[in-house]
Amino acid sequence: MGDRILSIRNGDGNPMAVIFLGRFNATLMLESLRGKRMMFVGDSLNRGQYVSMVCLLHRLIPEDKKSMETYNNDALTVFRVKDYNATIEFYWAPFLLESNSDNAVVHRISDRIVRKGSMNKHGRHWKGVDILVFNTYLWWVTGQDMKILKGSFKDVEKEIMQISTEDAYRMAMKSLLRWVTRNLDREKTRVFFTSMSPTHSKGNWGGEAGENCYNQTTPIVDPNYWGSDSRKSIMKVIGEEFSKSEFPITFLNITQLSSYRKDAHTSIYKKQWNPLTTEQLANPASYADCIHWCLPGLQDTWNELLFAKLFHPDLI
């Protein structure tokens, strides 16, 4: 993976910095993980970044010196590197807070409910980790107000309030920052937060009406392009809350650089969990996955940025 120059832009599309990303050094990364745990926490997009990291490293490890196992009903996936006494892990928590979408296998729920003040439900699995990489965004964007549970999912009569996506997301960010401050040692644990991953389900980049990522073979060339699916209001919430954090959190801003890559999605090549209908087969764009990313691919670049910030913490 060669050296490259990366332009970082803010939520308004304005350039913030141009940085030089050195070559990803798998040997150095493995050595830095010796005796440590690295964990990605979030949704399937963070799982993609987790898989990318494992793929970048595993070729250096003999087959009998590595293993992959799942725990907690598949909520936790652990890649173990025996000679280094190291693990790279993924923990499924699409909202970070407890929700009715916490089943790592069966979670396609349209009526999503998030429990207020419940970070400890999942957070107990994150204690003792040396490098934490969080993400959460797409599950909050339903097109409707978010349903927030006050109390417990076990309550017979549930008290549920509805608030805007931005207010609900702010609640989650406050809970996350409060949890890391109370439960992590800043001298021991590095914490990263990955910004929203853009989708290309609607062709608002100047192409033909109704097109999406299907059959796209080139990136978007407009340097000021910002997809309508990436809410600047959410970026604003992140900026406002993280600026108040007592615990140092490194922000991985992958949104703008990923927005250009309408050609990098899994599209029609993802695993289909249900048989495709005749109508879908006749119109491939109708079932193209324009959310997730191909590997090898874009998420390797996310990990190059993570690698750079891990070893050069003063970078941007």
Positions annotated as catalytic residues are 44, 289, 292
CA distance 148 to 101: 13
Helix (H) or strand (E) holding 236: helix 232-242
Instruction: Point out which residues pair with 250 in neighbouring strands.
Output: 192
CA distance 288 to 18: 33
Q: What are phi and psi of 102, to 5 degrees?
A: -85, -10
CA distance 42 to 194: 10
Q: If DSSP codes are grouped into helix, strand and coil, which group holds residue 48?
A: helix
Residue labelled with tokens 């190059």: 304
76, 125 in Cβ contact below 8 A? yes
Query: Residue 130 has which token pair?
Result: 């040396």
Q: What DSSP character marks residue 263?
A: T
CA distance 257 to 174: 27
Cα–Cα distances (Å) from 163 to 166, 231, 294, in that order, read 8, 17, 34
Q: What are phi and psi of 52, to 5 degrees?
A: -60, -45
Cα–Cα distances (Å) from 46 to 40, 189, 240, 312, in that order, read 6, 19, 23, 22
